[in-house]
Amino acid sequence: MAIMKKSLKTPSKLNEVHRYDQCNFLVLCFLQKLLEECAVINTSINDLIDDSVLKKTLLQLGMPKHLLTSKELLGKQHCLWIEKQVSQVNAKQLTCQNYYQNLNTLAKQTNNPKLYFRLYLFSYLKLMSEPFNDIADELASEYQDDATATFILLRAIGVTDADIQSIATGKHRDDNSISSLLTNNDESIHSAQYSHINVNIFLSRIELPNKYLEAIKTIKELSSVEALIRHCYQLNYETKLQPKDFSVEQFMPLYQYLDDAISFKKQGVNILLHGEPGVGKTELVKTLAKALNCDLFDISHSHDEYSQDNISKTMVNEIERTQAICGQLKNIIMFVDECDDFFHENPLSGRNLRKYQVNQLLENTPIPTIWVTNRPYSLEDAYIRRFDMVLEVTSPDAESYERKVRQLSRGLRLSSEFIAHICQHKSLSIAHIEKAIKVTKTFYLTASDAQEQITVLLNGYLNVGGYKKLQIQPVNRLLEYDLTLTNSIGHDLKTVQKGIHRLGESRILLYGPPGTGKSAYAKYLSKDLGLPLIMKRGSDLLGAYVGETEKNIAAAFEEAKDKNAILLLDEVDSFLNSREGHSKSWESTMVNEMLTQMETFDGVFIATTNFNQKLDHAVARRFDFKIKLDYLLPAQSLKMFKQFVYSSSKGTREQLLKLNNLTPGDFAVVARKCSLLGKIDEDSVLVLLQQESVYKQPLAKPIGFVIA
């Protein structure tokens, strides 16, 4: 920019910028350049800029007040002060600022980098520096036409009248270069062709879109215009939902039509989604974009402090500008939320677009666009007819609803009962539940604590709306599954869990005494992974007729595939015992069917048994992990006992450590007994545990003769 050419030719005498921000130093350079240009044509700057504006500007730039008491502003004293301040500026330090480098990068992608950089910097300073904007407005105003002021301003910023005419008339336009980011009253300066333009009006109205300013100011080394657009518009569509979480009738038509439109680069593709607030319209759009491997650009109107009153016109220009810049990008879907602000005919909200302008926008859009509204009745039929598809998004069925919540709450270990409980509340939407889960995850809570926190958050929504609140479900904390309270032999359960997170599949055989937590581990994984659990016992699969068991085995695996669920086969030894002892062919057929299904299943399969030695060896070899869950270690028993009685005597602890056959299941039984008896004290809990331990010990066989 010309204002820096002479003022910042030499290295700084100071390494640090002390009193001014970098924008204000550029304003000082600009003032110095104005003074020089005025001297060339023998004009006083006081004749071009009002004294009150000059005084205010100089005060904002830090000029001492005693200098501002003189009659002549910007006299010799003032010029010496400005020159001194500018001499202390490190040019390299200024040019290394994020905004300066980013504007330079963006300008390089136009067909006239030098010209556009100067205009970008001029527009940026007008928005970011009040002193600069005040001076620029004095020199170039659409309400006055002072040729000298305009000439001085053009000279100061290093731009000519011919440069501006070439931009306005399209002479600098190149199909291979990216359009300028500059706007004129929020309309792209390239959106219309002129034979001639008033330079004063051009300079007074030209600006960079407000949406870009923060990115230009803060991003370090912005790489391109595309990177800027992606930063400002690209929606993070990270969603834990999958296509199967939506009804086929809703998802597939949208997916197929958009896939075709993107593949063949069709123009004028517009889809309108409507429905009650919170039914999942935005999540549906995110899931569609993810399934189509597309980037989602959110161009919804934002009510920021700079936004203009004319909402419709602002949105049209925003859409057209984004379309023009993103037209060359592949796999893009544009998303407009709350689009009724755009379509609704309400002059009081600044609406003055004509219908043909809106229709033209819909018919010519080069990028598929999804419009979302909660109020479809606010759109006239003339607009509705322009949409290729109009689809109402409704609340999912109970099973899909719960599956969505299970996916969203992955890692919180919410119980199936709790998920069903919150999903059944008619006044809670998926949006309410999603936000409550998102907040709860920041507290690093799990199980009952997470459930209580989610209930509190959801009740906050319900209370404001005047709806019936959720009841906090009583949860026995002693029954919560804790990996540190399992005695696994062979492999660490936590390590296996991480592996399943990474690969999404595994075949696990859990064996050991009853009550050691085999089935509970499957339930724990189900909550942690956010996957449903299908549990089958051996008695569920054994059929009365030949071939029926094989069909039941195949059906169990098929169901798990369809529902993307964890399959748990409990008491698997009841029908998968070794084929060496089989006397009937159908007994071997059952084992063969299990082997076939295990080989082709790509999900999480868990089998449990108390008698692993009975299992067929070929079946056992198919498991990735064979893990024994044994009786609790002494330290684990003490830890579980502490959940009942925080402080216990040394004698009680010594008695507890003698019980070497306790399991988490025993503590769960004791917890229920304590609830029924209405007392939890040190002696009572110890006695109950001793009873459980004795019960599991084998009865002593009598020695000698027994007299009948």
Instruction: With beta carbons less than 8 A apart as the criterion, state whether 403 and 532 touch.
Output: yes
Task: Tokens 């000298």: give the residue.
Answer: 148
pLDDT, one tens digit per residue, over 154-197 is: 898 999 988 888 876 665 554 444 567 887 754 555 555 556 77
Yes or no: say if 399 and 423 are a contact pair by the CB < 8 Å rule.
Answer: no
Tell me which amino acid residue 258 is.
Answer: L
Helix, strand, or coil (residue 615)? strand
Structure letter (DSSP) for residue 580: G
Task: Take residue 226 and report the two structure tokens written for it.
Answer: 């595309």
Give 3-state DSSP helix, strand, coil % of the chain, rounded to 5.
55, 10, 35
Q: What residues are paired with 369 via a beta bridge?
A: 270, 334
pLDDT value of position 15: 36
pLDDT, position 389: 95
Which pLDDT does position 18 carry in this prediction? 37
Count CB neighbours of 679 within 10 A: 11
Asked if 210 and 307 touch (Cβ cutoff 8 Å), the reply is yes
Q: Residue 689 corresponds to which amino acid?
A: L
**Under a CB-based contact definition with an 8 Å cutoff, are residues 204 and 141 in contact?**
yes
Residue 256: exposed, middle, or buried by beta-carbon count in 10 A (0-12, 13-18, 19+)? exposed
Closest CA to 38 of 5, 8, 79, 1: 79
* Distances 627 to 603, 609, 702, 708 between C-alpha atoms, Å: 18, 11, 36, 46
**What is the rounded CA–CA span in Å between residue 100 and residue 96?**
7
Q: Please choose, from the candidates 512, 509, 507, 497, the residue with its C-alpha nearest in 3D space to the C-alpha of residue 628.
A: 512
101, 41 contact by CB (below 8 A) = no
Sign for the CA dihedral angle at 122, 124, 128, 134 comes to: positive
CA 128 to the chain's CA centroid: 30
| Dmax (CA) of the chain | 137
Q: For position 7, what pLDDT does the model report?
A: 47
Spatial contact of 31 and 82, defined as CB atoms under 8 Å apart: yes
* Residues in the chain where the model's pLDDT stays below 50: 4-20, 174-177, 186, 303-309, 350, 579, 582-583, 585, 708
For residue 594, give both structure tokens. 């299990």
- Angstrom CA distances, 306 to 137, 215, 301, 341, stand at 18, 15, 12, 17
Percentage of residues in the chain having pLDDT higher than 90: 23
- For the question of whether the overall pTM of this predicted structure is more than 0.75, the answer is no
- Residue 170's contacts (CB-CB under 8 Å, 6 or more residues apart) are 190, 193
Q: In this structure, are residues 29 and 7 in contact, taking their beta carbons and an 8 Å threshold?
A: yes
Exposure letters 180-195 (e unless 16+ CB within 10 A, then b): bbbbbebbbbbeeeee
